[in-house]
Amino acid sequence: MISASAIAVGIVALLPLGYLVLRAFERGTGVVRQFLVREHTLDLVLRSVGLTVAVTLTCLVIGVLTAWLVVRSDLPGRRWFGVLFTLPLAVPSYVAGFTWISELPGLAGFSGAYLVLTLVSYPYVLLPVMAALRAGDPALEEVSRSLGKGSVSTFFLVTLRQIRPAALAGALLVALYVLSDFGAVSLMRYDALTTAIYTSYRASFDRTPAAVLGCVLVLLAVVITIGERRARGIAANFGQARVGGGTARTAGATPLGAARPPALIGSVALLLAALGVPVYSLVRWLVTGASAGVDPSRLVVATLTTVQVAGLGALLTVLFALPVAALAARHPGPLARRVELASFAGHALPGITVGLALVFLGVRVLYPLYQETPMLVFGYAVLFLPLAVGVVRNAIAAAPVRLEEVSRSLGAGRMATRVRVTIPLAAPGVAAGIALVFLTCAKELPATLMLRPTGSNTLATELWTMTDAGMYGAAAPYAVVLIVVAAIPSLVLGNALRGSQGDNGGAR
Amino acid sequence: MTRTIFRRLVAATLAASMLLPGLSACGSSDALVIYSGRNEALVGPLLADLKKEIGTEVEVRYGGSAELAAQLREEGEAGNTDADVFYSQDAGALGALSEAGMLEKLPKSDLDEVEKRFQADDGTWVGTSARARVVAYDSEKVSAKELPSDVDELLDPKWKGKVGYAPTNGSWQAFVTALRVLKGEDGAKKWLTEFKANEPQSYENNVAILDAVNDGQVPLGLINHYYFFRKAKEVGADKLRVKLHYVGGDDPLALVNVAGVGVLKGTDKQEAARKAVAFLLSKRAQQYFADETAEYPVRDGVKSTEHDLPKLSGIQSPDIDLTKLSSLEQTLKLLQEVGLS
B235 pLDDT above the threshold of 60: yes
At A217, the pLDDT band (50, 70, 90 cuts) reads confident
- At A498 the pLDDT is 57
Average pLDDT over chain B, rounded to an integer = 85
Would you place residue A503 in the very low, low, confident or very high pLDDT band (cuts 50, 70, 90)?
very low
pLDDT tens-digit map of A257-279: 888 889 999 999 999 999 999 99
Q: Which of A288, A364, A372 lies at the smallest CB-CB distance from B27?
A: A372
C-alpha dihedral sign at B117, B123, B129, B134: negative
Which of residues B11 and A120 earns the better pLDDT score?
Answer: A120
Q: Is the pLDDT of residue A396 over 90?
A: no
Question: Cα angle at A345 between A342 and A348, to 5 degrees?
Answer: 160
A316 shares contact with chain B (CB less than 8 Å): yes
Is residue B16 within 8 A of residue A311, CB to CB? The reply is: yes
Chain B residue closest in CA terms to A454: B61
Across the interface, whether the CB atoms of B59 and A469 are under 8 A apart is answered no
Mutate to test the interface with B, among A23, A454, A466 (most CBs of B within 10 A): A454
Mean of the per-residue pLDDT values of chain A: 83
Residue A504 has pLDDT above 50, yes or no: no
Average pLDDT, integer, range A349-365: 83
Residue A277 contacts by C-beta under 8 Å, 6 or more apart in sequence? A96, A99, A100, A103
By C-alpha distance, which of A179, A232, A166 is closest to A48? Answer: A179
Nearest to B212 among A105, A449, A455 (CB): A105
Residues of A in contact with B41 (CB under 8 A): 465-466, 468-469, 471, 474
Chain A residue with Cα closest to B171: A203
For residue range A82-140, list pLDDT tens digits in order: 889 999 998 999 889 888 887 887 788 899 999 999 999 999 999 888 888 887 777 77
How do strand B125-138 and strand B220-224 relate by DSSP bridges?
A: antiparallel
Q: Residue B24 has what pLDDT? A: 40
What's the whole-number mean pLDDT along residues B230-243?
86
Q: Which residue of B has its CA nearest to A306?
A: B23
Give the confidence band of A497 by pLDDT, cuts at 50, 70, 90.
low
A495 vs B199: which has the higher pLDDT: B199
Polymer length in residues for chain B: 341
Q: How far apart are CA A386 and CA A231, in angstroms?
A: 18
**pLDDT at position B284, please?**
93
Interface test with B, best of A36, A315, A392 (most B CBs within 10 A): A315
Interface test with B, best of A31, A186, A204, A330 (most B CBs within 10 A): A204
DSSP label at residue A89:
G
pLDDT tier at A312 (50, 70, 90 boundaries)? Answer: very high
**pLDDT tens, position by position, B300-337:** 888 888 888 877 776 777 777 676 666 666 787 788 78
In chain A, the residue whose alpha carbon lies closest to the alpha carbon of B234 is: A290
Contacts of B6 in chain A (CB under 8 A): 5, 319, 322-323
Helix axes A472-504, A78-86, angle to 10 degrees: 120
A2 touches chain B (CB under 8 A): yes
pLDDT band at B5 (very low <50, low <70, confident <90, very high): low
A-chain CB neighbours of B339 within 8 Å are 40
Element of type H or E holding B183: helix B170-197
Which among A311, A356, A419 is the nearest to B71, CB-wise? A356
Distance from CA of A356 to the nearest CA of B (A): 7
Strand partners, B33: B59
**pLDDT confidence of residue A240:** 47
Distance CA A147, CA B319 (A): 85
Span B109-133, mean pLDDT? 89
With bands split at pLDDT 50, 70 and 90, how would you rate the model's confidence at A239?
very low
- Residue B214: name the closest of A105, A292, A471 by CA: A105
Q: What is the pLDDT of residues B147-157, one digit of tens each?
A: 999 999 999 99
Distance from B109 to chain A by nearest Cα, in Å? 30
For B316, counting Cβ atoms within 10 Å of its Cβ (0-12 exposed, 13-18 middle, 19+ buried), the class is middle
Cβ(B326)–Cβ(B127) under 8 Å?
no
Share of chain B above pLDDT 70, in %: 88
Q: How far apart are CA B90 and CA A296, in angstroms?
A: 32
Residue B20 pLDDT class (50, 70, 90 cuts): very low
pLDDT at A387 over 90: no
Contact B69 A454 (CB under 8 A): no
What is the model's pLDDT at position A85? 93
- The residue of chain B nearest to residue A468, with distances taken between CA atoms, is B39
Q: Which residue, A359, A312, A280, A276, is CA-closest to A23?
A: A359
Q: Report the distance separating Cα A94 and Cα A101, nearest Å.
A: 10
Q: What are B102-112's pLDDT values in tens digits?
A: 999 999 988 98
8 Å CB contact of A453 and B341:
no
Percent of chain A whose pLDDT exceeds 70: 89
- Measured in angstroms, the CA of A321 and the nearest CA of chain B are apart by 10
Contact A370 B41 (CB under 8 A): no
User: Would an 8 Å CB–CB cutoff place A444 in contact with chain B?
Assistant: no
Pure H helices in A331-350: 334-345
pLDDT of residue B17: 53
pLDDT band at B88 (very low <50, low <70, confident <90, very high): very high
pLDDT in tens, B186-208: 999 999 999 999 999 988 788 88
Contacts of A328 (CB under 8 A, 6+ apart): A336, A337, A339, A340, A389, A393
Euclidean distance between CA atoms B219 and B159, whole angstroms: 9
- Band of the pLDDT at A204, cuts 50, 70, 90? low
pLDDT band at residue A502 using 50, 70 and 90 as cut-offs: very low
Verify whether the Cβ–Cβ distance B234 to A290 is below 8 Å: yes
pLDDT tens digits, residue range A14-27? 888 888 888 888 88
Q: A203 to chain B: which residues are within 8 Å by CB?
A: 66, 168, 170, 173, 328, 331-332, 341
State the pTM of this model.
0.82
Please state, as a whole number, how many other Cβ atoms lie within 10 Å of the Cβ of residue B300. 11
Instruction: Answer yes or no: do A356 and B40 touch at CB < 8 A.
Output: no
Can you tell me the mean pLDDT for A156-170? 84
Note whether B80 contacts A304, CB cutoff 8 Å: no
Packing angle between helix A39-72 and helix A207-235, nearest 10 degrees? 40
Least confidently predicted of A236-245, B199-208, B256-265 = A236-245
| Residues of B whose CB is below 8 A from A305 | 23
**Whether A199 contacts chain B with CB within 8 A:** yes
Could you report the per-residue pLDDT of A427-484, keeping only the tens digit for each?
A: 877 888 888 899 999 999 888 988 999 889 999 999 888 877 777 788 888 999 999 9
Is residue A358 predicted with pLDDT exceeding 70?
yes
